[in-house]
Amino acid sequence: MRLTPGPAREIDLDRVDLFDLDLYASGDPHPVWDAMRAKAPLHHQVLPDGREFWSVTRYDDVCRVLGDHREFTSERGTVVTHLGVDDVAAGKLMTSTDPPRHTQVRRAIGARLTARAVASWEDRIRQTIARFLQPALEGGTFDLAEQALLLPAMVTGPLLGIPERDWAELVQLTAMVTAPSDPHFQHGSEAATLAIAHHELVTYVTEWVKLRRATGDADGSLLDHLMNVRAGEAPLTDEEIALDGYSILLGANVTTPHTVSGTVHALIERPEQYAKAQADPSLVPNLVEEGLRWTSAACNFMRYAVSDIRLGGGMIPARGAVVAWIGSANRDESQFADPHQFDITRDNAKRQVAFGFGPHFCVGAPLARLTLRVFFEELLQRCGSIALDGEPRHLRSYFIAGMTHLPIVAKKRMTP
C-alpha cells in the first residue's frame, strides 16, 4: 500500500471495504483511515459472506483493544485471515493465549531476547548486513524488497538453530501465511495457500523437535530453549512447542523486510532526510523508530470482545471481532504532529505501536530494533545515494503492509 498518501478525497464510509485487497496492493488506505478516525472511530463492516467485524483506528482505542485482555481476548484468533473461524490453537499457541498462561510462556522465551541478551549478536549481525548489502554496491539494479525477504533469516537463522539450507523455504512459507492472496506467494486459493503453509511450518518444527529428542543434541538455540520452557508447573507439550516455534518463525521473518524496504523508499523520496542521517549518525535510532511508525508493517491485529463494550462512541457486542488498525494509529494526528510527514527528527517517534501494545507486544522487538539500527548504520556508511530504478510493487495483503519489489540503484559512498 502507499505509505505517502495521495491527495485528500471524500470518503463514503458506508461503502468502505477494508478487506478490499486492491486497497492495499494498488490503492491508498490512509485517506480512508483519516476519515474513520475523524468520523467513525468505531466502524462496523459486514462482508458479503456474512462475517462481520468492528474497526478501531484511533491510537488510544487501538491501545485499549490490544492492552486489555479482560475486555478483548486473544483466545479466538488474532489475525484477520482467521476472521469467522475460531483459532484451533487457542490456549496452546502463545499469540492466541491470554494471561496468565501467556505471561508464563512469554517470560521464558523473552528472557533470551532482551536488549541485553541480543547485544552480543551485534557484530555478527553487522557482518551479515555488510554481506547482504555488497551486491547492491556493485552498480546494477538491486531489488531490495525481494532480497530483503531473506534478511531476517540470515540474521535469526543461527539464533533459532535453523540451518542455512532451510532459510529460503521457510521464508517462502511464512510469506504465504501472511499474504496468501499475493500472486508472488499464492499456491491455489487463499485458503489452500494458508493451509499448505501452516501445515509445512508446523511439520518443520515438529520434525526439528523430534530429531533433537532422538539425538540428544542441544546447541543453545532459541528453538532448543523452547523445548525446556515451562508454563506454570508443566513443560510445554510437543504440540505447543511446534505451534510456538511456528509463531516465532513468523515473527522473525515477516515484518522486518517490509520495514527495511518501506523506510528506504521513504528516504529515496526524501533525499534531504537521507543526507541528514548521513551527516549525523546519532539520528539512526530515531530513524528506525520513524521507519517503524511510517511502515507499520503489521498493519492490524484482531481481538474478540469478551462482553458488550462501549468504545469509540459505539457499542461492540459480546463475541464481536475487533480489528485494531496499527497503520492508522501510527498516523493519528492527536499523537503525531503532521503524521503523513516522514521525519527522522520526530521527537516522539518511539511512541509508535508497530510492535503492538500490551501483553502481546512483540517479544522479538529488541532483536528487530538492533537489526534495523545496524542495517541503517551500514547503509548510510556504505551508500552515498540511492535511487529508484523502476516502480515499487506493493504486497497484496490487508494484514501485512509491504512490498514485493523495490528496484534500486545505489552508489558507493566516497570516503575522505
How far, in Å, CA of 9 to CA of 13, rounded? 12
How far, in Å, CA of 324 to CA of 354, rounded? 12
Per-position DSSP letters for 401-415, written without gaps between them: --EEE-EEEEEEPPP
As given in the structure block, the three cell numbers for residue 35 are 476519515
Question: Once rounded to an integer, what is the mean pLDDT over residues 90-94?
Answer: 83
Domain that holds residue 237: 21-132+147-260+302-341+358-376
pLDDT the model gives residue 225: 84
Q: What percent of the chain has pLDDT over 70?
A: 99
Residue 219 belongs to domain with CATH number:
1.10.630.10
Asked whether residue 350 is domain-assigned, the answer is no
Asked whether residue 243 is domain-assigned, the answer is yes
- Asked if residue 298 lies in contact with residue 354, where contact means CB atoms within 8 angstroms, the answer is yes
pLDDT the model gives residue 37: 97
Q: Is the pLDDT of residue 223 over 90?
A: no
Q: Is the pLDDT of residue 228 over 90?
A: no
pLDDT the model gives residue 88: 82
pLDDT the model gives residue 9: 84
Asked whether residue 217 is domain-assigned, the answer is yes
pLDDT the model gives residue 288: 98
Q: Percent helix, strand and coil across the chain, each rounded to 5?
A: 50, 15, 40
Asked whether residue 9 is domain-assigned, the answer is no
How far, in Å, CA of 271 to CA of 257, rounded? 21
Expressed in angstroms, the distance from the first to the final Cα of the chain is: 39
Q: Is the pLDDT of residue 282 over 80?
A: yes
Least confident of 108-122, 228-242, 246-260: 228-242
pLDDT the model gives residue 416: 56
Asked whether residue 196 is domain-assigned, the answer is yes
More confidently predicted of 223 and 353: 353
Confidence of residue 349 (pLDDT cuts 50, 70, 90): very high
As given in the structure block, the three cell numbers for residue 312 are 469509540
Q: What's the mean per-residue pLDDT of the chain? A: 93
pLDDT the model gives residue 211: 85
Counted domains in the chain: 1
Asked whether residue 114 is domain-assigned, the answer is yes
pLDDT the model gives residue 3: 93
As given in the structure block, the three cell numbers for residue 83 are 476472521
**Angle value at C-alpha 331, between 270 and 184, nearest 5 degrees:** 70
Asked whether residue 3 is domain-assigned, the answer is no
pLDDT the model gives residue 155: 92
pLDDT the model gives residue 6: 84
Confidence of residue 217 (pLDDT cuts 50, 70, 90): confident
More confidently predicted of 393 and 209: 393
pLDDT, one tens digit per residue, over 147-167 is 999 999 999 988 888 899 999
Asked whether residue 8 is domain-assigned, the answer is no
